[in-house]
A and B are shown apart, each in its own frame.
Chain A
Amino acid sequence: MKLREGNGHRRLPMLMLALIAAIGLVAAACSSTTPKSTASTATISTSTKGSITFWTWVKDMDKEVALFNKKYPNIKVNVVNAGQGSDEYKKLQTALKAGKGAPDVAQIEYQYVPTFTITNSLLDLAPYGASALQAKFVDWAWGQVAKDGKVFAIPQDTGPMGMLYRQDLFDKYGIAVPKTWDEFAAAAKTLHDKDPKVYLTDLPPNEPGAYVGLEWQAGARPFDVQKTDTVGVSLNDTAAKKVSAYWSGLVKDGTVATDPDFTDAWYQGLASGKYATWLTAAWGPLFLQGTAKATAGKWRVAPLPQWSAGEQAAGNWGGSTTAVTKQTKQPAAAAAFAMFLNSDPQSAALLNTDQSLFPATKALLNDPTFLGQKLDFYGGQTVNQTFADVSSTVVTSFQWSPFQDYVFSEFNDTVGAAFTKKGDLDAALDSWQGAVVKYAKEQGFTVP
């Protein structure tokens, strides 16, 4: 079929027109949009009107929002669950990059705060009165959110690590509560020999937060971020190697399970007594209570085993903060909300009782009612007291990288994969180190 050009005019083919339209569209979209940071340091009053969006995956925040609205009735808070953890961070990062679509306030776990401060995406809350809140929060948590007089987020909850164990299984197999890691290894062997279907604990290959928490306890310092363009990476330092050698032994002997956590199989394992302990954070007890109802009364709480007898050290796993993004059009209202949510005594108490979050405020951690709470699920033990004591032993100088999402995802493929395959954890740790250093250099960091 021959194409004919008619009447001597050159007609633009449809395709050309379409292409031009497309290029025009691209050009329009590519114009740079810088995030607006209206530097208004005005504090809001009870009559201030506004509407802010809050991204959080913690459920049922309406009571806390209602409390906030009692003080500021005209600020509407729109609570949105934009995904859990990593899913939310991905969306947040892309929205911040695109210049549009980020919420005013967002839940960000401690380990991801540097990811957002390095791109200068979080609003400094100091001008809005946040510095005054320092005394209210535990020191190490404050250290994670504040630097050089700037406050980038307000701590919400913490996750000091402890050990939940099945008293009935310990009694049945004659195991004493291990106080050191050596005792723990011995107990693991004894238990598994007596009943091959039971493991002392599960070491999840997909939970870098928990594993790094254990390294934290051992004194590992994987990241050293002193300047914005320099990141020291030592994922395979002596302490980390000590931890990996230890767990390597247990995994190779088959005395601990290596099932991924928070899967249906894992829930089943907890409920059926496949795992005799759960090395978890302070939000663990209430979570377990909700999911393994059939085992009520059989669990107890203890601090983590220690590397040397008599030592008292702990690591932290998880815990979130509330931060304000620079894309907000209502900085004062957003800042007020973030600060209120986590520091107002009533709101903070609700976060603990309703959402099972372990407090970050000194007030609650010293509150006799909170500490004296006896949980039947744990045989009437004062669980909060145990974790509060642990909380004070969490080492303060731990730092996270500005690309933690990458670090954790690479963990799954290197160290985590080694757990599952019962391979060499030491080598896996080195692979992890290598990959992260390569990534850091690619991103323009100087890695000393």
Chain B
Amino acid sequence: MASSADTLVTAPPAALPRRRKGPRRKARRGRAGYLFVAPFLLFFAAAFIAPLAYAAYTSLFRTRLVGGTVFAGLQNYREVLHDQAFRDGVLRMARFLVTQVPIMLVLAVAFALAIDSGRLWGPRFVRLSIFLPYAVPSAVAALMWGYLYGPSFGPITQLADNLGVTAPNLLSGGWMLPSIANIVTWEFVGYNMIIFYAVLRAIPAELYEAAAVDGAGPVRVAVHIKLPALRPALGLTAIFSIIGTFQLFTEPSIMHTVAPNVINRSYTPSLYAYNLAFTDQRLNYAAALSFAMGAVIVIVTAAFVLVFSRRRARS
């Protein structure tokens, strides 16, 4: 990797005109930046900005079956603020967030530490097995777990029957959210674990050597070297998990086919927006609701970042 750079550096500078490091050179270099970012930004404009602009525009109107389209200003947004179903969905996702995400990330850290500890037999097998569920599309994972949870040929119920115990109905109202949380955890622990493991592998050897000199045992090494190294990655994965949680759609949507009355129209904000747009044909309101959802995500993420960096600064 270093060879081509080396040849360039060692090329004789003799034949060159005198260097001109004036503003013109820097300006030309700056302009080249446009060249590289232009393709991305063009597609970004087409695939992100255009639809968002259109959604923002749409959210200012109301289209009714009788009366056509009228300008409504911020009426849709005002309605969102009073929408109980939206609030319920957001709160449900908040409950999901404060339980599932910490559990998933703690497990991911624990697994990464275990594999990195060098005290496992078959660490590669363990690593791969935990990562494997990430290869399963979430729609397929939801279908599969739906069958596993199901009372007719799900092994959980079968086992319970064999033991003479009634299995809890994992698809019922009280259990549905934990059941979905389980699916999401199963799918993504491995992905987060791999990120943490990569960070652990990159810890410089000097730190371990210094710790060995100090006579630190494995636990102290974990607490004082490994965990601090993981902090930034933890922050990042937490942020992505927060964003992902609020956008939950696929798993509830598939679960709706097996438990149609537990997953109601507004079970998650994304599902609610989808139903508003396609079942109710209220595209304007759905657009406003989506922006409101985006605002919630930004607020929660920002709050998390603030708390997280403050705690980092303190420690």
**B30 at interface (Cβ–Cβ under 8 A)?**
yes
Contact residues in A for B279 (Cβ distance below 8 Å): 86, 90, 405-406, 409
> If A260-B261, A443-B64 touch, does A30 touch B45 (CB 8 Å cutoff)?
no
Name the residue among B34, B45, B64 with the largest chain A CB count within 10 angstroms: B45
Report A66 CB to chain B, min CB distance, Å: 33
- Would A21 and B261 count as touching, CB distance under 8 A? no
CB neighbours (8 Å) of A119 from chain B are 65
The answer to whether B152 and A265 touch across the interface, beta carbons within 8 angstroms, is yes
Is B240 at the interface (CB under 8 A from chain A)? no
- Chain B residues with CB under 8 Å of A406's CB are 279-281
Interface: B129 (CB within 8 A): no
Whether A23 and B278, one on each chain, are in contact in the complex, defined by CB atoms closer than 8 angstroms, is: no
Partner of B38, one of A14, A442, A444: A14
CA of A15 to CA of B152, assembled, Å? 56
Is A31 at the interface (CB under 8 A from chain B)?
A: no
**Interchain nearest-CB distance for B66 vs A (Å):** 3
Decide if A403 is an interface residue (CB 8 Å cutoff).
yes
Q: Cβ of B23 and Cβ of A445 under 8 Å apart?
A: no
In the complex, the chain A residue whose C-beta lies closest to that of B41 is A18
CA distance A220 to B49 in the complex (A): 50
B63 closest partner in A (C-beta): A97
Interface residues of chain A: helix, strand, loop or mixed (majority): helix
Residues of B within 8 A of A97 (CB): 281, 283
CB-CB contacts below 8 Å: A9-55 with B: 11, 14-15, 17-19, 21-23, 25-26, 29-30
A226 proximal to B (CB < 8 A):
no
B: number of interface residues (CB 8 Å): 44
Tell which of A22, A26, A260, A443 touches B66, judged by Cβ atoms closer than 8 Å.
A443
In contact, A4 and B27 (Cβ under 8 angstroms): yes
Q: How large is the interface on A (under 10, 10 to 19, 20 to 34, 35 or more residues)?
A: 35 or more
Instruction: Tell me the minimal C-beta distance from B147 to chain A in angstroms.
Output: 7
Determine whether the beta carbon of A14 is less than 8 Å from that of B41.
Answer: yes
Known: A6-B24, A18-B44. A403 touches B65 (CB 8 A): yes
Segment from B50-58, B114-122, B224-232 that makes contact with A: B50-58
Report the bound CA distance from A444 to B34 in whole Å: 50
List 26 A-B pairs, Cβ < 8 Å.
A4-B27, A7-B24, A7-B27, A14-B34, A14-B38, A15-B41, A19-B45, A21-B46, A22-B53, A25-B46, A26-B53, A26-B57, A29-B50, A90-B279, A97-B281, A118-B65, A229-B66, A264-B150, A264-B258, A405-B279, A405-B281, A413-B261, A417-B261, A419-B261, A442-B64, A442-B282
Given A6-B27, A267-B152, A419-B261, 12 additional A-B pairs, CB 8 A: A6-B23, A14-B41, A19-B45, A22-B49, A25-B50, A26-B53, A229-B66, A264-B147, A264-B152, A405-B280, A409-B279, A413-B265
